């Protein structure tokens, strides 16, 4: 039988402590530290009357059917709320679904949406695909836009200001509090993809209404699970998001949630190490003659480093490297192919390092996609940083002089 001997963490506890204890209250069975995986479709009710009463409250952790989630999902929801400082969380099967569900939830035919030009590619695809098909218009904006600029782009029917900071591949930061002020006075909701910031950016303290995370990345942490979360600070937003996810049949599998729960317990220590190693490699790249600039918000050379220092308590280990313009694509491919410790893969946040060519994969319509040289996205894993740098050094030696 579950017992309640595990106490929820206190707000004053530090992050690592909260990640150790969050989501464990009421989940202990036979004394085991970790909760079991509750798999299931059918939930049995004690009698017909309780079934009728239960069904009316299905978004409020009353177990009525497998799709509404159960103890394993609830434990992870509590952990994600702890990470982002939210109050309610909806889990879905992928990070991409965590992007699409709130867009579908807050927008309807005739509405207008604002999206940063630096947005994660598949978010642009849904804006130009399903949303456009349903009669929803999207304007892509310069991610570095200020409060007056975004106010000027807002229309009476603008219902969603979508944000992602820093932007996928190009790492521009957004002035979220300023943009949120402009959105809120005009009645629009602020949605943010906070996958890069994780807990280092507290979305609800900066005016975000709905925070999206691809748990696939650092929370999962081992490149073996796909999962997304949509976290909010108000009950009203929870009902909107959860209602939309439920109508569309979104669901997060308990086995995947269990893996993400396990990942979350060690995330603080992994993240601290990966952030440190990532910065070491980013700084090393900055000192290389083959490199024109490094796109990492935590580096003082980043054009919006002041915003980073103001709004973030740290970062992760994903950044961009812009090579000198003299290198052709074939040179960069040879460099990446020669690396022994870096995989060529699209996700990030796992324990293994990755190098991904991004030039040619970036779509821009409001700003230029030309970063002035061939660009590679680097993800630093948990390998020893000296080995990674030695590998990169050998790789750079393949570039023409």
Q: In this chain, which stretch among 17-25, 90-98, 263-271, 283-291 interacts with ligand PLP, using CB under 6 A?
A: 90-98
Instruction: Map residues 279-318 to x or -, x wherever contact with ligand PLP holds by CB under 6 A.
Output: ----------------------------------------
- For residue 217, the minimal CB distance to ligand PLP (Å) is 7
Contact 228, 208 (CB under 8 A): no
CB of 193 to ligand PLP, least distance (A): 5
169 vs 159: CA distance, rounded Å: 26
- Binding residue for ligand PLP (CB under 6 A) from 347, 359, 367, 398? 347
Sheet holding 228-232, edge to edge: 88-92, 228-232, 210-214, 189-193, 158-164, 112-116, 137-141
Structure tokens at 320: 């961009």
Site string for ligand PLP, 112-131 (x = CB under 6 A): --------x-----------
Do strands 375-379 and 318-323 pair parallel, antiparallel, or not at all (unpaired)? antiparallel
Query: At 326, which helix (H) or strand (E)?
Result: none
Is 186 within 8 Å of 151 (Cβ atoms)? Answer: yes
Coil/strand/helix, residue 86: coil
Burial class of 151 by CB neighbour count within 10 A (0 to 12, 13 to 18, 19+): middle
- If the CB atoms of residues 101 and 178 are measured against ligand PLP, the closer one turns out to be 101
Nearest to ligand PLP by Cβ — which residue?
95
**Which residue in the block uniquely carries the two structure tokens 């929801």?**
77
Contacts to ligand PLP from residues 155-214, by CB under 6 A:
168, 193, 195, 214
Nearer to ligand PLP, 348 or 374 (CB): 348
Question: Least separation, in Å, of the C-beta of 96 and ligand PLP?
Answer: 4
Give the phi and the psi of residue 317 in degrees, each rounded to 5.
-120, 30
Q: Is 83 helix (H, G, I), strand (E, B) or coil?
A: helix
Is residue 311 within 8 Å of 179, Cβ to Cβ?
no
Strand ordering across the sheet containing 291-295: 291-295, 318-323, 375-379, 354-357
Q: Which residue stretch of 13-21, 46-54, 89-97, 390-398 sits at the interface with ligand PLP (rule: CB under 6 A)?
A: 89-97
CA distance to 73, 119, 249, 311, per residue, from 365 (Å): 39, 11, 33, 27
> How many angstroms separate the CA atoms of 204 and 207, rounded?
5
Using the contact rule CB under 6 A, the part of the chain among 95-103, 271-279, 287-295, 299-307 near ligand PLP is 95-103
Angle among Cα 179, 175, 12 to the nearest 5 degrees reads 105
Question: Cα separation of 237 and 106, whole Å?
Answer: 9
Measured from the CB atom, the residue of 86 and 95 that comes closer to ligand PLP is 95
Binding mask 211-250 for ligand PLP (x = CB under 6 A): ---x-x---------x-x----------------------
169/302 with CB nearer ligand PLP? 169
Stretch of residues binding ligand PLP (CB under 6 A), selected from 88-96, 149-157, 328-336, 384-392: 88-96
Cβ distance 26 to 4 under 8 Å? yes
Q: Among 94, 100, 353, 375, indicate the residue that binds ligand PLP (CB under 6 A).
A: 94
User: Does 81 interact with ligand PLP (rule: CB under 6 A)?
Assistant: no
Piece in contact with ligand PLP (CB under 6 A), picked from 44-52, 92-100, 110-118, 351-359: 92-100
- With CB under 6 A as the rule, give the number of residues binding ligand PLP: 13
Q: SS3 of 278, please?
A: helix
Which residues would be at the binding site for ligand PLP (CB under 6 A)? 94-96, 99, 120, 168, 193, 195, 214, 216, 226, 228, 347
């Amino acid at each position: 039988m579950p017992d309640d001997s595990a106490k929820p963490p206190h707000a004053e506890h530090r992050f690592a402590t909260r990640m150790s204890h969050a989501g464990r209250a009421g989940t202990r069975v036979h004394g085991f530290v970790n909760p079991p995986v509750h798999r299931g479709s059918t939930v049995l009710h004690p009698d017909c009357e309780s079934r009728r009463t239960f069904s009316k409250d299905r978004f409020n952790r009353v177990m009525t059917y497998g799709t509404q989630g159960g103890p394993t999902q609830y434990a992870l929801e509590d952990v994600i709320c702890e990470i982002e400082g939210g109050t309610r969380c909806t889990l879905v099967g992928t990070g991409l679904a965590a992007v699409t569900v709130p867009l579908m939830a807050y927008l309807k035919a005739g509405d207008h949406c604002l999206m940063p030009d630096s947005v994660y590619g598949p978010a642009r695809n849904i804006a130009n695909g399903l949303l456009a098909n349903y009669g929803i218009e999207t304007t892509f904006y310069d991610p570095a836009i200020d409060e007056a600029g975004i106010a000027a782009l807002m229309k009476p029917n603008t219902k969603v200001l979508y944000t992602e900071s820093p932007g996928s591949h190009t790492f521009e930061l957004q002035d979220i509090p300023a943009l949120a002020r402009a959105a809120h006075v005009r009645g629009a909701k602020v949605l943010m993809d906070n996958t890069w910031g994780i807990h280092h950016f507290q979305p609800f303290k900066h005016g975000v209404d709905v925070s999206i995370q691809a748990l696939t990345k650092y929370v999962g942490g081992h490149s073996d699970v796909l999962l997304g979360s949509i976290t909010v600070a108000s009950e009203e937003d929870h009902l909107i998001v959860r209602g939309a996810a439920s109508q569309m049949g979104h669901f997060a599998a308990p086995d995947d949630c269990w893996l993400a729960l396990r990942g979350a317990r060690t995330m603080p220590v992994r993240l601290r190490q990966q952030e440190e190693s990532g910065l070491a490699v980013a700084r090393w790249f900055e000192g290389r003659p083959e490199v024109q600039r490094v796109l990492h918000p935590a580096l003082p050379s980043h054009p919006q480093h002041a915003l980073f220092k103001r709004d973030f308590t740290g970062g992760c280990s994903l950044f961009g490297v812009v090579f000198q313009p003299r290198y052709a694509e074939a040179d960069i491919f040879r460099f990446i192919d020669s690396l022994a410790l870096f995989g060529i893969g699209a996700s990030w946040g796992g324990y293994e390092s990755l190098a991904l060519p991004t030039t040619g994969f970036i779509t821009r319509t409001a700003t230029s996609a030309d970063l002035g040289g061939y660009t590679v996205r680097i993800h630093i894993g948990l390998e020893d940083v000296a080995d990674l740098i030695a590998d990169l050094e050998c790789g750079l030696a393949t570039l023409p002089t």
